């Protein structure tokens, strides 16, 4: 019996270690399968927008144009010739599209709300497939006189005051096909801002803010990731089956002594504060003994009568008694012993041996 108990404890320790190790290993595989490895794709971009203001024929300016960065008289402007240059480099197959749009916008100065808005394509959308660098180089001749005359007529017709009108000429760019995590859908890369309906015209160039990083991080849905996830799930399922078998083994291999010790530990762990343990034998001769079926019955009696529960453990006999003596010479008695967990045939042999 002792040898069997020692082997059982050894087997339980070994199986517990295996369960813990396999659980950790399956967790690692599943984590690697779910949180896929990341693939880094670098890219870079360069932006440049140049323009000249082409003047109407006049008696004051020797040249028929003015360079960027000046203040221009609206009545002398014929066109604004702009050159949009955008270089984009991505070491990956991708599709890109771009177009140049003219946007007129009239807003109220007090509320900053839009009164009128109009858009038209100055360069129709172009789409291509690429792998590596692309260079967009588009010249646009902006008919300033057309837009300015239109805005002045609109303001005059409706007698608008305290309004601001402007023309934004935008290069919109989009990238698709790299990953769901990286798209540049109709992003305005650069813009030429031209005031309308004013006497003198300052023209500004606006570039989109540069990205914080010059690389794209995308999940790598490789075969290795899927295999890691499948392996982790298979290990987890096998571990669950092993755990069920392990529990069955613990219950089936438990000896009478194991069951007795387990029951005693359960009582002491839950109700230790209610129990007073005594080492000497308790004289029960003068008491009328009333046996109770369950330890919970003793607890009810203790709560009702406010009396302590006395514990007497006979280790050599693997038996423990729990008593509540009363002043009326009644003794409430509950006991557990190793024999009560034996099979009926085993109990008969034990009584015969006695």
What pLDDT is recorded for position 351?
Answer: 47
Contacts by 52-58, CB closer than 8 A, 24 or more apart: 52/80, 52/81, 53/77, 53/79, 53/80, 53/81, 53/144, 53/203, 54/78, 54/79, 54/80, 54/81
The two most distant CA atoms of the chain are separated, in Å, by 137
What pLDDT is recorded for position 212?
Answer: 43
List, for residues 193-239, the tens digit of each pLDDT value: 999 999 999 999 999 875 544 444 445 555 556 777 788 888 888 88
Helix (H, G, I), strand (E, B) or coil at 317: helix
Mean pLDDT estimate for the chain: 84
Task: Determine the Cα–Cα distance for residues 262 and 299; give it in Å rounded to an integer.
Answer: 19
Mean pLDDT of the 20-43 span: 74
List, for residues 106-150, the tens digit of each pLDDT value: 999 999 999 999 999 999 999 999 888 999 999 999 999 999 999
DSSP state of 154: H
Residue 339's closest CA among 353, 322, 326?
353
Contact yes or no for 250/14 (Cβ under 8 A) = no
Q: Return the residue matching tokens 């529960």.
A: 309
Helix (H, G, I), strand (E, B) or coil at 31: helix
List, for residues 60-98, the tens digit of each pLDDT value: 999 999 999 999 999 999 999 999 999 988 877 888 899
Domain ranges of the chain: 2-37+222-252, 39-217, 256-353
**Rg (alpha carbons) of the chain, rounded to whole number:** 45
Mean pLDDT of the 181-201 span: 85
Q: Going by C-beta distance under 8 Å and a sequence separation of 6 or more, which residues neighbour residue 37?
A: 219, 220, 222, 224, 225
Mean pLDDT of the 13-22 span: 88
Contact yes or no for 238/22 (Cβ under 8 A) = yes
Q: Which neighbouring-strand residues pair with 104?
A: 118, 167
| Number of C-beta neighbours around residue 353 at 10 A | 6
Contact yes or no for 298/332 (Cβ under 8 A) = yes
Q: Of 23-37, 48-62, 107-121, give the lowest mean pLDDT range.
A: 23-37
Q: How is residue 210 written in tokens?
A: 């540069």
Q: Return the residue matching tokens 């919109």.
A: 172
Task: Determine the Cα–Cα distance for residues 319 and 313; give it in Å rounded to an integer.
Answer: 6
With 0-12 CB in 10 A as exposed, 13-18 as middle and 19+ as buried, what is 162? exposed
Q: Of 20-24, 44-48, 248-252, 321-325, give the lowest mean pLDDT range.
A: 248-252
Query: C-alpha angle with apex 245: 244 to 249, nearest 5 degrees?
Result: 120
């Amino acid at each position: 019996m002792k040898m069997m108990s020692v082997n059982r404890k050894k087997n339980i320790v070994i199986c517990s270690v295996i369960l813990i190790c396999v659980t950790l290993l399956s967790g690692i595989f599943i984590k690697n399968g779910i949180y896929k490895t990341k693939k880094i794709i670098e890219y870079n971009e360069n932006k440049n927008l140049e323009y000249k203001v082409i003047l109407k024929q006049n008696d004051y300016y020797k040249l028929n144009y003015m360079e960027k960065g000046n203040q221009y008289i609206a009545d002398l402007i014929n066109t604004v010739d702009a050159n949009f240059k955008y270089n984009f480099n991505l070491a990956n197959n991708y599709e890109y599209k771009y177009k140049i749009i003219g946007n007129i916008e009239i807003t109220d100065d007090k509320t900053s709300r839009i009164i009128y808005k109009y858009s038209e394509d100055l360069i129709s959308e172009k789409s291509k497939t690429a792998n590596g660098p692309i260079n967009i180089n588009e010249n646009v001749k902006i008919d300033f006189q057309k837009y300015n005359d239109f805005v002045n007529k609109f303001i005059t017709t409706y007698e608008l005051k305290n309004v601001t009108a402007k023309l934004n000429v935008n290069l919109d760019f989009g990238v698709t096909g790299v990953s769901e995590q990286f798209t540049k859908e109709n992003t305005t890369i650069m813009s030429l801002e031209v005031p309308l309906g004013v006497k003198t015209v300052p023209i500004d160039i606006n570039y989109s803010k540069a990205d914080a990083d010059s690389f794209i991080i995308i999940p790598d849905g490789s075969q290795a990731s899927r295999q890691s996830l499948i392996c982790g799930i298979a290990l987890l399922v096998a571990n669950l089956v092993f755990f069920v078998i392990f529990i069955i083994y613990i219950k089936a291999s438990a000896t009478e002594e194991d069951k007795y010790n387990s029951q005693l530990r359960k009582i002491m762990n839950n109700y230790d504060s209610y129990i007073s343990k005594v080492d000497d034998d308790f004289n029960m001769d003068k008491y009328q003994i009333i046996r109770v079926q369950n330890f919970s019955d003793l607890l009810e009696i203790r709560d009702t009568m406010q009396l302590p529960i006395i514990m007497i453990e006979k280790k050599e006999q693997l038996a423990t008694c729990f008593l509540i003596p009363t002043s009326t010479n009644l003794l409430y008695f509950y006991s557990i012993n190793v024999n009560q967990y034996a099979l009926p045939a085993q109990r008969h042999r034990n009584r015969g041996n006695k």
